[in-house]
Amino acid sequence: MPGTGERREDGTSGTHDEAAGTRIGTRGVHDRAGGTHVGTGGVHDRPTGTHHATNGVHGRAGDRRAGSGHPPTAPLLEIRGLSVSYRTRGGTVAAVRGVDLDVWPGQVTAVVGESGSGKSTTAHAITRLLPDNGVLEAGTVRFGRHDLATLSEPELRAVRGARIGLVPQDPTVSLNPVKRVGEQVAEVLRLHTKATRRSAAAEAVAVLERAGLPDAAVRARQYPHELSGGMRQRALIAVAIAAGPELIIADEPTSALDVTVQRVILDHLQRLAEESGTGILLVTHDLGVAADRAQRLVVMSRGRVVEAGPTRDVLADPQDPYTRHLLASAPSLASARRRPTATVRTADTADTADTAPAGAAAPLVEARNLVKEFRLPGSGDGPRTLRAVDDVSFTLGRGRTLALVGESGSGKSTTARLVLRLADATSGRVLFDGTDVTAAGGARARELRRRSQLVYQNPYASLDPRFSVGEVVVEPLRAFKVGDRRSRLARARDLLDRVALPASVLERRPAELSGGQRQRVAIARALALSPDLVVCDEPVSALDVSVQAQVLELLAELQADTGVAYLFISHDLAVVRQIAHEVAVMRAGRVVESGPAEDLFARPRHAYTRELLAAIPGGHVLSPAAATITN
Amino acid sequence: MRGYVIKRLAQAAGVLWAAYTVAFLVLDYLPGDPVTAMAGAGMESGQVDPRQIAALRHEYGFDQPVLTQYTQYLGRAVRGDFGDSVATGRPVTSTLADALPQTLQLTASALLLAVVLGGGLAVAATYTTRRWLRQFLLSLPPLGVSVPTFWVGLLLVESFSFRLRWFPAFGNDGPRALVLPALTLAVPTGAQIAQVLAKSLFTALDQAYVETARAKGAGRWRVHLRHALRNASLPALTVVGLLVGQLIAGSVVVETVFSRDGLGRVTAAAVTAQDIPVVQGVVAFGALIFVTTNLVVDLVYPLLDPRIVVAAGGRASAV
């Protein structure tokens, strides 16, 4: 906790007073708006223009609210003119600039935007849970009778957890690892109700049950690491709902979870809201999730609200160019034929150009009945094993893309590691370019390394922070003693050019680049040795949707140019649909269904494939709108 | 769990043996032996019969091959017999046993002081919101680590004994005589604990679960002590285990500076006199304390962090 904490409160209290002054004015506007609301039957949206004319917010009239039950008369939460900035060494960075936002009881309001849009900062500013260097510069946060922006820290503590619950982003790190799950839920009750230690413990079990955790009594006595990600998120939902809050702020509550789990969790959250009349502020980068869940949509970009209104209206007729851009690049909404047609065509030409003389029949990689077992820590009764990969076979042709799709723990990454010989198969064989490499060692394994490369999921972790971008890209060349200093540098320039990065980034450090740029560097590094195969392990999962689209396009282009084959690992069918020629769906170590991408998406045969497809958020709701936008 | 403990005990025995052997080899490598050293002292004052020296050397076994000496010493050491001091003729074990209580008092109170002062400083520095206070508090541990122990001791004696006359400057008489030496020994130890704990507290306070706790409506103090401190205590605990060895080493200096009787003084005297049996005994004893403390620390981990049970179980099953 910062040295700035106390001074910040003192220093900005003046600003708050001023804000309170203007608030009265704002209220006036709202009362009038409320009048219109009654008159026209359902226009509760603010006439935003009068308020922040320069914001360029596309406010709407004609709200056909899809909320359930009786229509609420006043918003639960009213944010007006909220501005938050971060004090950094380089100066003050404005993260949120004049945001207006309403949340209504019993409804889901989604805030959508890419990383850096200020959506998460906005959500955290409501209960002033900002990082130490975050400063609430201006604005009002009306919640019930209070303006949360002006409350003292002790007053805020009475609101946090009791009246406003927070469901955090990453369930794997958001529970205290050294405390039992039940204890962590009971803490809320102990803080805000008159519960005793014993009664809180009993009630915590009931709350966990309400949050949808099976065997709640058992789970309550367990530690977070003994629970799966989905179960942990339910425990965190229990923490959020324990004291019966009026508002739940859910900050990317399912981004770290598998799609099928995501669906169940969101269903549950929504049901809780509908039953108890709780308002939900759902922060998400996924327009599909927002489309499925929210009655109202707020689109944010660069700290401002660029568009707000009923979800259906915003999606059907987006006013702001940014919203249109976001809609167009959202993978779950893209029509299946957009990029893939281009990819298939170019890849086909690459095929004929590349493999026609060599004979198109020979596949580049062939996996036969691969099995990988891991020994588990035994519990006394002999060693147990986990079959992570169970009898997996596939072939991957030159210049083609095979996607291994599955949820976490399905064995897709382990399969890729077996192909790359980063792990040894328990049984089965791997053929690379016709030769058996299952047991290749020494020089042959090294040759395999030269011809097959890897692009990792997280570009923030896969680039050495002490290397310059140039050093990162030429490292494979140095490792294989290809060329001299000058030719390597030329090659690095050429590679960066290929991945559409300017040569000026050569001297920069990875930390100075954005996520998308870093992943381009990682791709350039993978291509440095002109490999035949690149394994892409969730290459776009850590990136924003619009950046995802660019990187996928780049991968397709590079394949067309160089004839490289991709083994593409992803949990996201929507992404796979845009890039893969063939798809193999994995579950619990086995391939449950495989075939050409078009067929698999059009006519899924296995129940699990159908379940995965159905779990893609936003698919049904939006496809007509998306089609009109993209065409 | 039991398999884990057995494995760790076997490791501990290995460490003890290695410490004993290395000490033996180093002492053997040094020129001369205790008898010659004593004789050298005697030679200045008058006559020493060379035949007498030879007889003494034979009595202590210094005339035998190194390997024979080593196996003899080791064989007896395993049975708890470290032989007799060359300088005084008393059994090594009773020499150590006599000195032990004083040193235990000193190191235990120093450790307690170090944990309280170092831990308190770390908590205060991470808790305060005043930037200047935090900067000031965080600048203390590096200072405490870098100043030499004997200098701290002299400084304390100068101000608290000679000027203020609050505490005696030397001796073993009562708890008042313990204060300054314990404080001297606690300064570098506590400083290291403070450094590690402050760093891991800052890391813990940055974690997502701390935000969850704040979102629950927990106050700063509660977040600090109930959520962050327990998670941050593991690295500090590891350091405490390692520092126990340093405390024993530090007692050599501190007991010399404050003229206290104890293991440190015994060690200093034995090294000067090349009293090999005593030095060997001290080394073996020090290693024993060190190994035991670290075993205890390792067994405490699972109580603080439930995730470690799994790791320990995993290793245990591999035995």
Condensed to tens digits (0 to 9), the pLDDT of residues A204-243 reads 999 999 888 888 999 999 999 888 888 899 999 999 999 9
Residue A168 contacts residue A234 (beta carbons within 8 Å): no
Query: Quick one: average pLDDT of A331-346?
Result: 43
Q: What CA–CA distance (Å, rounded) separates A148 from A623?
A: 39
Query: Quick one: average pLDDT of A318-341?
Result: 68
> Which secondary structure element, helix H or strand E, spans residue A10, and what is its range?
helix A4-40
> Which secondary structure element, helix H or strand E, spans residue A431, and what is its range?
strand A427-432
| Contact residues, chain A, for B215 at CB < 8 Å | 127, 129, 160-161, 165-166, 168, 240
| Contact residues, chain A, for B305 at CB < 8 Å | 177-178
Closest-CA distance of chain A to residue B123, Å? 11
pTM of the model: 0.74
Collapsing DSSP to helix, strand or coil, A389 comes out as strand
Residue B89 contacts residue B278 (beta carbons within 8 Å): no
Burial label, A277 (beta-carbon count in 10 A; 0-12, 13-18, 19+)? middle
Residue A28 contacts residue A10 (beta carbons within 8 Å): no
| Contact residues, chain A, for B314 at CB < 8 Å | 377
**Record: contact B216-A5, CB cut-off 8 A:** no
Q: Does B214 touch chain A (CB under 8 A)?
A: yes
The segments of chain B whose pLDDT lies below 50 read 310-319
**Record: contact A129-B305, CB cut-off 8 A:** no
State yes or no: pLDDT of A283 exceeds 90.
yes
Structure tokens at B215: 């979102």
Q: What CA–CA distance (Å, rounded) separates B216 from B164?
A: 51
**Record: contact B214-A160, CB cut-off 8 A:** yes
DSSP letters, B168-237, are: -SS---TTHHHHHHHHHHHHHHHHHHHHHHHHHHHHHHTSHHHHHHHHTT--HHHIIIIIIHHHHHHHHH
ipTM, two decimals, is: 0.78
pLDDT at A22: 34
Burial label, A495 (beta-carbon count in 10 A; 0-12, 13-18, 19+)? buried
pLDDT at A404: 93
Between strands A427-432 and A134-143, the pairing is: unpaired
Q: Hey, which residues 199-228 in chain A have their CB within 8 Å of chain B?
A: 223, 225
pLDDT at A34: 32
Q: Which amino acid, residue A19?
A: A
Q: Percentage of chain A with pLDDT > 70?
A: 80
Q: Does B45 touch chain A (CB under 8 A)?
A: no
Q: Does A478 touch chain B (CB under 8 A)?
A: no
Q: What CA–CA distance (Å, rounded) separates B278 from B86?
A: 8
Structure tokens at A199: 């009664």
Q: What CA–CA distance (Å, rounded) separates A486 from A502?
A: 18
Q: Does B164 touch chain A (CB under 8 A)?
A: no
pLDDT at B299: 83
Question: For all residues of chain A together, what is the average pLDDT?
Answer: 79
pLDDT at A359: 42
Of A41-50, A316-325, A391-400, B182-191, the least confident: A41-50
Residue in B closest to A178 by C-alpha: B305
How far CA A76 is from CA of A71, A142, A279, A290, in Å, comes to: 12, 8, 7, 20
Q: Which of B128, B306, B317 sits opposite A377 (nearest CB)?
A: B317
**Record: contact A157-B304, CB cut-off 8 A:** no
